[in-house]
Structure 1
Amino acid sequence: MQNFAPRHFAIVPAAGTGTRMGASKPKQYLPLLGRPLIHHALSVLCAAPTIDKVFVVLSIGDAEWRSYDWSTLGPKLVPLYCGGPTRADSVLAGLRAIADQAIQSDWVLVHDAARPCLAPWHIDKLVRELAGDEVGGLLAVPVADTLKRADSHRHVLATVPRESLWQAQTPQMFRYVMLRRALESAHNVTDEASAIEAAGLRPRLIEGDATNLKVTFPLDLHLAEWILNNREGLNR
């Protein structure tokens, strides 16, 4: 009897421009330790034994990608020139593009192009803890800081209780068919878990750590560099 164990595909939406960085190029291509920022996460995904293929969803007119040598990352890496104006559009376009390669029960891990400090243990923990889950889930960290709700003038309106609040990270991992159906129906969602929630399902939170930061502002590049230089065991 054949074993039809589900495969694991990674999708990295990288069609954005990263306007908040104020840089001359999309932030996924900004230099970080001598490599494009996106290279660091891609190298970890491509090296992960549980990941079968890594699809990078680029904008249709992306000319920057071809100016770098990605061959060291091996045959798992596949660029897809079908990105859209939003993250959800790009992920959905990627899911449609791999429809002939994925089956309904395969897992899809979506990871931010701007999270260069992904580590092997993040992937291992996510895959291991969600293996038997019916819905899937995402890496996240409990909110530690006191939260304030502000008005339009940045005056405090209220202190928000932080109990049971988590900060979403990536990868976010769901079945191919479930994620595609959710994104086909969802509108104005900022991550895949939100689309799954809109479909009436409850993604599971898998505790990650603060080193898996998202580069949004210029200072974040320095923080990412420090993490990559000082964290043992990172495969990059």
Structure 2
Amino acid sequence: MPNYFALIPAAGYGARMGNQLPKQYLTLAGQPMIYHAIRTFCESSQIKRVFIVLSPQDPGWKKYDWRAFSGKLSMLYCGGETRAESVLNGLNAAAGRFAIESSDWILVHDAARPLLTQSQLGQLIDELADDAVGGLLAVPVADTLKRSGPDARVLQTEPRENLWQAQTPQMFRYAMLLEALNNVPELSITDDASAIEAMGYHPKLVHNTSDNFKITYPQDLALAERIMQQRNQS
């Protein structure tokens, strides 16, 4: 049976948040933001180990107490200039320290998606366990989409039929993801699925809800705080 490993690239700084502190360390519900994603993976009985890919000059990780997750958590100080580079470096570093088979599953997750639930994680794993390619959590696009020109005026309305908004985790076999990231120019990669697609494969879209959003702007952090409060009260 293949194993399931989570990999969270956390070497970026999140400039759009307007904060000097790297985004993954901003406080959310009394903990650094990345804590919540780590907890979801570490508490899953299906996940064997959780790898965090940090910058070699990471300024914040050691300031926090991660002992609650020590049985599953491994830090890899090999983050790159881009997300794709960090994931690739993380895959190589993880395999150098642990016995990862080519058929094992890697679940790559954004550090800035703290609202992932056990139910969502379990659904992804269950739907892709026997899939030949792998896939990702995603949400069908509901809003009307406009394409603009350089003057911020509408050029045209884009049809939204069959369009999905990609989320994470994105789940692929170790060997396939490693090959994809090694052979696709980084400029063409916007997420891990993009690299798989460039090899001619078609990842499966696993229907999810919009609450697994990525925190990009300060108002997103406030919304995530409210959602966590509501979850704790229910």
TM category, shorter = over 0.9
Aligned to 2:138: 140
Percent identity (aligned) = 55
| 1:53 and 2:43 aligned | no
102, 105, 111: which one pairs with 2:103? 105
Tell whether 2:165 aligns with 1:184: no
The aligned amino acid for 2:48 is D
Shift of 1:122: 1.1
For the Cα contact (< 8 Å) 2:3–2:105, is it kept in 1? yes
Residue in 2 aligned with 1:115?
A: 113
**Aligned residue pair count:** 230
Q: How many Å apart are 1:60 and its aligned residue?
A: 0.6
CA distance in 2, matches of 1:84, 1:224: 28
* In structure 2, C-alpha distance between the alignment counterparts of 1:51 and 1:227, rounded to whole Å: 25
1:99 match: secondary structure: helix
Q: Which runs of 5 or more residues in structure 1 are unaligned?
A: none
Alpha-carbon distance in 2 for matches of 1:160, 1:59: 38
Runs of at least 5 residues in structure 2 that lack an aligned partner in the other structure: none
Return the alpha-carbon distance in structure 2 between the equivalents of residues 63 and 49 of structure 1. Answer: 31
1:5-154 equivalences under 5 Å are 5-100=1-96, 101-154=99-152
CA positional deviation for 1:230: 1.1
Q: What is the CA–CA distance in structure 2 between the aligned matches of 1:74 and 1:127, rounded to whole Å?
A: 23
Q: Is the 8 A contact 1:46 1:74 kept in 2?
A: no
Matched residue, 2:165: 167
Structure-2 change in CA distance of 1:55 and 1:179 (3 Å):
same
Deviations 1:13-32 (A, max 9, x none): 00001001110111000001
Name the amino acid aligned to 1:207. H
In 2, the alpha carbon distance for the partners of 1:68 and 1:87 equals 23
Give the letter for the 2:129 counterpart: A
Whether the 8 Å CA contact 2:76–2:94 is kept in 1: the answer is: no
Q: How far is 1:233 from its partner?
A: 9.8
Partners of 1:173 and 1:209 lie apart in 2 by: 17
Question: What letter is aligned with 1:33?
Answer: A
User: Structure 1-normalised TM-score?
Assistant: 0.95
1:112-152 deviation per Cα after TM superposition (whole angstroms, max 9, x unaligned) = 00001010011100000001100000000000000000001
* Matched residue SS, 2:78: strand
Which residue identity is paired with 2:59?
A
The alpha-carbon distance between structure 1 residues 93 and 233, as it changes in their structure 2 partners (threshold 3 A), is farther
CA contact (8 A) 1:147 1:159 kept: yes
